[in-house]
Every structure is written in structure tokens, then in C-alpha cells.
Amino acid sequence: MSTSVQSLPIVLSRLCKAYGSVKALDNVSLNIAAGEFLTLLGPSGSGKTTLLMALAGFVRPDYGSILFGDREMITTPPNKRGLGMVFQSYALFPFMTVAENIAYPLKIRGLSKSDQKMRTEHALDTVELDGYGDRRISQLSGGQRQRVALARAMVFEPQIILMDEPLSALDKKLREHMQIELKALHQKLDATVVYVTHDQREALTMSDRIAVVNHGRIEQVETPERLYRQPNSFFVADFIGESVSLPVEVSNKKAHLNGRVLKSDLPISEGHGGHRLVIRPELLEVILGEIPETANDFSGHVYDIIYQGDSILVIVQHESLGQINVRVPANRAGQKGLPSQGERIGLALHPEDTIIVPEHGS
């Protein structure tokens, strides 16, 4: 087996799928580059899994087009799409050894036993399970089973690999470790990967781009950093990462908070309904003592201080804006000192961190 495959681009055009009055896919269009790691991210019931199943061929859209390269796949059955697939449950055969599980896609494709053995050994080496071929699935840990599922998905060198929440069954520490492993494995294989998750941090860690799915539609597609720093709607801003939001008035492309103009270096997206200021707690600067009030700078009393290991959450009560959370790295708190409960402090929101979004995207 070679160390890389010739990946394919994917083009989705106007995909629609309804179950009665529920639109699981609502006019979805999306271009995925060859070799890209794209994550479909959204809450339960958003349509992300339906979209993945449409790619796999297990769900037939009512309307639209799915191109793998220049091939239309809408009517192509799942077993003819040439996809690698990793399921949430791994779907491994318990009566087979690790090597037999990995070799199964090669066996049903009619490869010789010598080719099966060579490719299986290479796949085991790629996922760092060399020497595990004779073990039973029941003898493996959760992380090892996940690696076996990955090896089986890639052993026949698919151009596209689909993954349906493959890390959700692992504990937090192992899940975070496997995120890094998967990212490195993708760079080694260079296959086009479409990955489904509801875990925002997982998506931010692993993806080249993230498509945020909500109510069967794609709200925004962006790189992790741009998605986090420049969301185009309140749903995206609220779903991606931790935030506090405040209603603002927008006129003449300027946002006003408490009658004062907010300074922002970021564009204000157009949309429907009102607008909101989105404050990332880790981007606020804490200033000990009271400061002059502007739209970006304000003071309040410390309502509570909560130690959370790697960071400290400071909850500040402002007279008119309500509670605002500030997250301070634990090591920085030790260097600069923390305010006391009840103390009055200043909070500064810098223009480059001032995010203003519409209630609903365009």
C-alpha cells in the first residue's frame, strides 16, 4: 500500500431531503477540495449525519447533485462509491482477528492473499498497531479499536474517507490524543476526509475547514480560526466556543452599545433581525481598579471567582449589561494577581476582538 492516495474533490449542489414536513437537508451546496479535511459540525438533529449518509449512499436525496471528481453519484449504490467509512460504533467483526478485520475490504475486492497480507501489515504500521494482527477485537482498548477501524477504512486506498463521530465513545484524554493522531494520519494519507462531530473543540483541532450545519442548512464554511474570530451569525458565534452576547443597535455600519459606538476592526455581517456583540471571555483584558466607561471599556463588581484548573473564571456584574464572564489563564493570574470578590474592576475589549453578528445569517 502506498503512503498516499489520489484524493478527489467533492461538489454538492442544491441537495434536498425531507421526511414529511421536516427538511433534513435544505438546499445544501458545498465544495470540498481534493485532500481537504472538512468537518460537518452542528447540534443533534442539525442534518450533518444525513448529509454524510447522502455522501455514503445510505440516504437518497430528493433533489440535487453529488459529484466525486467528475462522476455523478446520486444513483450509485454505497458499495460502488469506493469510500472508506469509519462509524461511531467502529462496526468491527468480533469473530475476526485484527488483521482479518483490516483485510476484509481487500478480500471482498478479490486481492490475492499476498497482497492482502502486505497491505494489512502496512496499514497496521501506519496506525501504530504493528504486532497486533493476531489479537481479537475483545482484547483491544477503545483507542486501539478505533485505530483498527481507521486501518480498515484506508487499507484499500480510498480517495475519500467518511467519518461519523468516530471518537465520541472515547474518554476525554484519549479523545484529545486521537484528534492529534487523526490529523497527522490525514496528512500522511492525503485522502479527502469528511468528518462529522458535534464537538466544537474537536472540529477546531482537526479541520482544514468547518461547515456549520443548522436545521438542514450550512450556516458558514470557514477555516477554524476565521470561523471562531469572524462568525457570520449569532448561531455560529454561540455554537463555536464560549461567549457572552449583548444586544447592540447597528446603523450606518456602526454598532452602538448603551448609546456609545463600539470600535471594531472586524466587518459587521448582514443578516436578519437585530445584532449582538459577542464577547469571548478569554479575549477580555482585566484591569484592576475602575476605568472610564466607553462602549469597549467598562467596569463592574466581581460577583464570583471560579478555579477551573488551566484557567480561572471571573464573573463580573455590570450595572446595566448584566453578568460578563472573563477567563484568565491560571499562570497569568499568578503573575498579575486576581481581584477579590466584590472588588470593582475594569474590562477592556480590544477592537480586533470585537465581534458583532446578526441574530440570523443572510
Domains of the chain: 10-228 (3.40.50.300), 244-361 (2.40.50.140)
* Structure confidence at residue 187 (pLDDT): 84
Phi-psi label, residue 279: left if phi above 0, alpha if psi -120 to 50, beta otherwise: beta
Q: Is the pLDDT of residue 271 over 90?
A: no
pTM (2 d.p.): 0.88
* Structure confidence at residue 2 (pLDDT): 45
Higher pLDDT among residues 118 and 172, named by residue = 118
By percentage, how much of the chain surpasses pLDDT 70? Answer: 97
Give the residue among 166, 190, 215 at the shortest CA–CA distance from 43. 215
The mean per-residue pLDDT over the stretch 24-53 comes to 95
Residues pairing with 302 in the sheet: 316
Distance CA 194, CA 15 (A): 16
Distance CA 9, CA 193 (A): 10
Residue 68 host element (H or E):
strand 63-68
39, burial (CB in 10 Å: exposed 0-12, middle 13-18, buried 19+) = buried
Q: Is the pLDDT of residue 252 over 70?
A: yes
- Please identify which residue in the block is written with the cell numbers 463555536: 240
98-108 vs 142-154: helix axis angle to the nearest 10?
20
Q: Is the pLDDT of residue 208 over 60?
A: yes
By percentage, how much of the chain surpasses pLDDT 90? Answer: 55
Asked if 278 and 257 count as a contact pair (C-beta separation under 8 A), the reply is: no
DSSP string, 147-175: HHHHHHHHTT--SEEEEESTTTTS-HHHH
* Structure confidence at residue 336 (pLDDT): 62
Q: Is the pLDDT of residue 24 over 60?
A: yes
DSSP character at residue 289? B
pLDDT in tens, 336-355: 677 889 999 999 999 999 99
* Structure confidence at residue 5 (pLDDT): 57
* Structure confidence at residue 359 (pLDDT): 85
DSSP string, 178-225: HHHHHHHHHHHH--EEEEEES-HHHHHHH-SEEEEEETTEEEEEE-HH
Asked if 218 and 361 count as a contact pair (C-beta separation under 8 A), the reply is: no
* Structure confidence at residue 289 (pLDDT): 84
CB half-sphere exposure, 117, CA atoms < 13 A:
4
* Structure confidence at residue 335 (pLDDT): 56
Distance CA 201, CA 343 (A): 33
* Structure confidence at residue 3 (pLDDT): 45
pLDDT in tens, 154-169: 888 889 999 998 888 7
The mean per-residue pLDDT over the stretch 244-260 comes to 89
Distance CA 222, CA 209 (A): 5
pLDDT class of 333 with cuts at 50, 70, 90: low
For 7, the grid coordinates are 484524493
CB half-sphere exposure, 203, CA atoms < 13 A:
30
- State how far the alpha carbon of 193 is from the alpha carbons of 24, 45, 177, 181, in Å: 22, 22, 19, 14
50, burial (CB in 10 Å: exposed 0-12, middle 13-18, buried 19+) = buried
pLDDT class of 88 with cuts at 50, 70, 90: confident
Asked if 245 and 355 count as a contact pair (C-beta separation under 8 A), the reply is: no
Radius of gyration of the chain (CA): 24
Q: Is the pLDDT of residue 46 over 50?
A: yes
Distance CA 321, CA 305 (A): 19
What value does the mean pLDDT of the chain take? 89
The mean per-residue pLDDT over the stretch 109-135 comes to 88
Q: Which amino acid is at 246?
A: L
